[in-house]
Structure 1
Amino acid sequence: MTATTKALETRPVLSPEALAFREGMSRITAAVHIVTVAGDRVVGGVTATAICSVSDAPPTLLVCLHRAGRVRSLLNAGTEIVVNTLDAHHQPIADVFAGLGNVPMADRFRHGQWQMLPGKPPLLLDTAVSFEGQVESIIEAGSHSVIMCSVDAVHLRDKATSLIYLHRRYLAQPHA
């Protein structure tokens, strides 16, 4: 049995309803982000699209990550987190943090210009916007964790062209 065959055997067969849901979600435009965290002598990051604002008073984000993901395993209430919203030229970095190429986690941060401070989540320096904050609460929902994050700092960049995801592909969205 090959590794590919074994992987296919362990994947759950999706119901027609689940397949329709996935297809429907692929038709909703989403900004592309890299969520980063720092744990005990380890940093992690993952590409994510299920992120939205909750409130501006106090500033709060909702971040959804797969429960079995390596980055999710580093998150608890109080964990510092950065949501880096990607610019169009970051597509190769988005692929690396999505796991394409099986790049080891520590090596992923060799792609792009990162601010790496001891004990802090990495901050991508040339993003459209980055949000620094901390995890306030986590709710488990199906295959994912819904993570509420307070926002402590916002880093804006002028004239960015956001990287978006639609119909299972990346697109550039210029800002007006």
Structure 2
Amino acid sequence: MQPVDPQAMRDTLRLWASGVSVVTTALATPTGNQRAGMTVSAFNSLSLEPPSILVCLSKATTTVNLMAESDVFAVSILSEDSAELSDRFAGRHNLAENADRFLGVETHTASTGSPILSAALAWLDCKVCERYDGNTHWIVIGEVVATGQRDANVSPLLYYDRGYRTIAP
């Protein structure tokens, strides 16, 4: 059997609509807090008892390296008006290399110390339970220790066919 061509895989997966979220983490250091965050679409509920979720994170990111040290993370579920935040944390914003992606972004601190984007539709604060090797990504399972939501009349930001979408009323 022939291996699947990576471009064919991309072309197929672009037809899967998914919510957009930003995974963040922080680590207290003697010189202050280090923060990192990245946009992800590979995020899922795993279990209600105990409450847990999973995220898939590229191994080649600052976020995954900092999370390996802190063992905590938060997921900010983005609303329809947050495409710019998604682009910023995906590295598609006009920021200098190694620029602070949080600069100018309003956040609050979760109980674990992870930053939560204040514009988020909803959020989950987590402790890392398990981490599995998934080739180019880590599959991270988090125990949810706190959650929060914003106004329920706001729609989520979706990603489909290489573009942002939202739910029609």
TM-score using structure 2 length? 0.86
Aligned counterpart, 1:37:
25
Find the residue that maps to 1:75 and give its secondary structure.
helix
Shift in Å, 1:110: 2.5
Aligned counterpart, 1:66:
58
Which deviations, in whole Å up to 9, do the C-alpha atoms of 1:62-106 show, x marking residues without a partner?
100101111011123861110000011111111011012244566
Aligned counterpart, 2:154:
160
From the superposition, tell whether residues 61 and 149 of structure 1 become closer, same or farther in structure 2 (CA, over 3 Å). same
Question: What one-letter code is carried by the residue in structure 2 that aligns with 1:134?
Answer: K
Shift in Å, 1:116: 4.3
From the superposition, tell whether residues 69 and 92 of structure 1 become closer, same or farther in structure 2 (CA, over 3 Å). same
From the superposition, tell whether residues 122 and 78 of structure 1 become closer, same or farther in structure 2 (CA, over 3 Å). closer
Q: How many pairs were matched up?
A: 161
| Aligned with residue 49 of structure 1, among 32, 41, 44 | 41
Which deviations, in whole Å up to 9, do the C-alpha atoms of 1:142-170 show, x marking residues without a partner?
11110000101110122121001000111
Listed as ranges, the gaps of 5+ residues in structure 2 are none
Q: How does 1:12-161 map to 2 (within 5 A)?
A: 17-39=5-27, 40=29, 41-76=33-68, 79-100=71-92, 101-103=94-96, 107-116=100-109, 120-158=113-151, 159-161=153-155
Find the residue that maps to 1:88 and give its secondary structure.
coil
In 2, Cα distance between equivalents of 1:94 and 1:110 = 14
Find the residue that maps to 1:161 and give its secondary structure.
coil
TM-score using structure 1 length? 0.83
In 1, Cα distance between equivalents of 2:98 and 2:109 = 14
Shift in Å, 1:118: 10
Listed as ranges, the gaps of 5+ residues in structure 1 are 1-14
From the superposition, tell whether residues 132 and 116 of structure 1 become closer, same or farther in structure 2 (CA, over 3 Å). closer
Identity of aligned residues (%): 25
Find the residue that maps to 2:123 and give its secondary structure.
strand
Find the residue that maps to 1:89 and give its secondary structure.
coil
Find the residue that maps to 1:108 and give its secondary structure.
coil
